[in-house]
Amino acid sequence: MFIFASPLFLLLLPAAALILFLKLREKNSSHIKVSSLKGLENTSYSFMVTLSKLVPILKISGLIFLILALARPQFGDKKISVTTEGVNIILALDLSESMRALDFKKDNKIVTRLEAVKGVVFDFIMKREGDRIGMVVFGSNAFTQLPLTRDYNTIAFILERLKIGAAGPNTAIGDAIGISLKRLEDIKSESNIIILLTDGKSNSGELSWQDAAKIAANREVKIYTIGVGTKGKAPFLVNDLFGQRYVYHEVDVDLKTLETIAKQTNANFFQAKDLKSLGKIYEMINNLEKTKVEVEKWVEYKELYPWFLVPGLIFLFLYILLSNTRFLKVP
């Protein structure tokens, strides 16, 4: 769609058009008295004489183009209200120390569990449209990383900068659910979900996961739970006196707890042992959770004023140059 961002400047156009019209009708007031014009009827005008009549048009044309530039022509879509599928979603992500485990592959490279999660969650965010998405992170404690928003670029920016251990080394699943429920209260919606991702068992926090799950069920908030990794030993990269080396530590994701939370809240439990299965899980959730909502959609406009500004300046420059040199008028 083509629009003018400052259309009031277009009110100057009628004045410029009137001046142009008067210039075109203007007759040359300079006369030379001769006894007779006989024999001069078929004399043609020289090119320079014809060109001199166009010099005033350069000035008016330049002004018209500058007025159009001031009105800021733009091309793009307008802001519109559209009915789309929208859900209030809280992404609850585990940042405990166990997320350092190097048992995922991404692009044929061994990465931590958190790095694998970041890429999949990013893809999930960018596939949603009309949803409000917030982010809660947890370890020994849980806190809001980002309240509900439709600014997906900001969500992606925050996601990329998450650090393991930022919320403590342990796992407070109950507190993570509790904080997530508080964030869902900020903006009312017909559909509210929490996507809880962890690789451990609840061993910290003030609110038990049992009580948190009951509150969520009473509020009809679905909690999709994702258990990352497997039980047993997993490799970790550590620094010691001998430099960097790999050591194996016992990790234990509490699949039973996650399954119970999902079941109590009428949602689904998933286990992700590798990057492929993790991606499929978020794709399934993306397809499961849909609802209609009316949102205002913005598309950035492309500025077109340079296409009018440059010709306008060129026309005015030519007018000034020609009217003060070759076509200079001397009284």
pLDDT by residue for the chain (331 residues), tens only, comes to 677 888 888 888 888 778 767 766 665 545 556 666 565 556 666 666 667 777 778 888 888 899 999 998 887 665 555 555 568 999 999 999 989 998 888 888 889 999 999 999 999 998 887 789 999 999 999 999 999 998 898 999 999 999 999 999 999 999 999 999 999 998 888 889 999 999 988 999 999 999 999 999 999 999 999 999 877 788 888 877 777 788 888 787 889 999 999 999 999 999 998 888 898 988 888 887 665 555 555 556 788 889 999 999 998 898 888 888 877 766 5
pLDDT attached to residue 168: 92
Residue 75 phi, psi dihedral angles, 5° rounding: -125, 130
How far apart CA 26 and CA 260 sit, in angstroms, is 90
Rounded to whole angstroms, the Cα distance separating 218 from 210 reads: 13
The CATH class of 82-296 is alpha beta
**pTM of this prediction?**
0.62
Asked if residues 308 and 265 have their Cβ atoms less than 8 Å apart, the reply is no
CA distance 3 to 76: 8
Q: Which pLDDT tens digit goes with each residue over 7-32?
A: 888 888 888 778 767 766 665 545 55
In sequence order, the 6+-apart residues with CB closer than 8 A to the CB of 15 are: none
At 5 the pLDDT is 81
Helical (H) or strand (E) element with 135 = strand 132-138
> Residue 270: CB partners within 8 Å, gap ≥ 6?
224, 225, 226, 227, 281, 284
Q: How far apart are CA 291 and CA 153, in angstroms?
A: 22
C-alpha 298 chain-centroid distance: 10
Which residue do the tokens 């592959």 mark? 105
* Sequence-separated (6 or more) residues with CB below 8 Å from residue 245: 237, 238
